[in-house]
Amino acid sequence: MQLGKHGVTVNAIVPGFVVSDMTRLSARRLGRTFEEFEDHARQSIPVGRVGQPEDIAHTASFLVSSGAGFVSGQVVYVAGGPVD
């Protein structure tokens, strides 16, 4: 609120299931193959696929662009659909 007048915007990106080293480790900790873990996640995602790192990068690129200069104080869920 205080820095908006200086052009500083603050937003948050909340990723859903994204293929990453972290999700691979989570599968291993749960005693599942990554393929099983990914398939299970995919079933609950409305767009029918899991996220890729590029999905998060594209959102971040938009938020740091001049096109997002009037976007501030938002939480952007990059999760393939509504989050429960």
Domain containing residue 20: CATH number: 3.40.50.720
Q: Does a structural domain hold residue 19?
A: yes
User: Is it the case that residue 16 has pLDDT exceeding 90?
Assistant: yes
10 Å Cβ neighbour count for 4?
A: 11
Q: Does a structural domain hold residue 84?
A: no
Q: Does a structural domain hold residue 83?
A: no
Domain count, the chain: 1
User: Is it the case that residue 81 has pLDDT exceeding 80?
Assistant: yes
**pLDDT tens digit sequence for 21-49:** 999 999 999 999 999 999 999 999 999 99
Q: What's the mean pLDDT when you consider all of the chain?
A: 95
* pLDDT > 70 in the chain, percent: 98
Range of the domain at 64: 4-78
User: Is it the case that residue 83 has pLDDT exceeding 80?
Assistant: no
